[in-house]
């Protein structure tokens, strides 16, 4: 509390010195207003930034501590799911156009800390009688090199 009062006193002295330095001109009122705004802002900042405990009934406490909720993990997971569903849908349409019907399609999506998105693997779960060679050629041609296409028999 003592430190808070000392800081407010120093701000008041600085504001008074600034007011004395204002030259006689047509801008005297505007500059005076700016100094008053500085003083009020500084006092509010000191009071809200202080940890005051009056030790009375309820003990009022001002603190600059705030809780920040980080939604990065949730949005990254949602984005991965959305990308995976979109790629899975396109692969499913491609294969269905050639009479190949996978029971499941897994898409492994990676989003780095720099928000770089990459697809590492597409895994198709096909029935035993499916044409794996044709399915592989279709999917690899569509997704390009660098993405691993794997199969699992249902």
3-class SS letters over the chain: CHHHHHHHHHHHHHHHHHHHCCCCCCCHHHHHHHHHHHHHHHHHHHHHHCCCCCCCCCCCCCCCCCCCCCCHHHHHHHHHHHHHHHHHHHHHHHHHHCCCCCCEEEEEEEECCCCCEEEEEEEEEECCCCCHHHHHHHHHHHHCCCCEEEEEEC
Question: How far is residue 89's CA from residue 100's CA, in Å, rounded to a whole number?
Answer: 13
pTM of the predicted protein model:
0.51
pLDDT of residue 51: 56
What is the chain's mean pLDDT, rounded? 80
Residue owning tokens 């491609």: 94
* Residue 82 scores a pLDDT above 80: yes
Percent of all residues in the chain with a pLDDT value above 70, rounded to a whole number: 84
Phi/psi of residue 130, nearest 5 degrees: -75, 155
Give, in degrees to the nearest 5, the angle at Cα 41 between 38 and 42: 80
The model's pLDDT over 19-55, given as tens digits with 9 standing for 90+, comes to 788 777 777 888 888 888 888 888 888 777 755 554 5
Q: What is the mean pLDDT of residues 90-115?
A: 87
pLDDT of residue 58: 53
Q: What is the mean pLDDT of residues 2-21?
A: 81
pLDDT of residue 97: 92
Question: How far is residue 46's CA from residue 2's CA, in Å, rounded to a whole number?
Answer: 12
Best CA proximity match to 34, nearest among 18, 47, 50: 18
């Amino acid at each position: 509390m003592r430190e808070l009062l000392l800081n407010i006193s120093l701000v008041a002295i600085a504001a008074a010195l600034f007011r004395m330095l204002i030259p006689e001109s047509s801008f005297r009122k505007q500059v005076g207003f700016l100094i008053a705004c500085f003083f009020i802002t500084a006092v509010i900042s000191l009071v809200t930034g202080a940890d005051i405990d009056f030790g009375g009934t309820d003990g009022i406490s001002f603190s600059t501590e705030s809780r920040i909720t980080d939604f990065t993990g949730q949005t990254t997971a949602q984005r991965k799911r959305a990308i995976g569903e979109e790629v899975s849908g396109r692969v499913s349409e491609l294969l269905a156009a050639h009479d190949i019907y996978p029971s499941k399609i897994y898409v492994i999506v990676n989003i780095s800390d720099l928000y770089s998105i990459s697809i590492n693997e597409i895994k198709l779960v096909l029935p035993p009688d499916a044409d794996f060679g044709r399915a592989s050629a279709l999917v690899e041609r569509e997704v390009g090199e660098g993405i691993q296409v794997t199969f699992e028999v249902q």
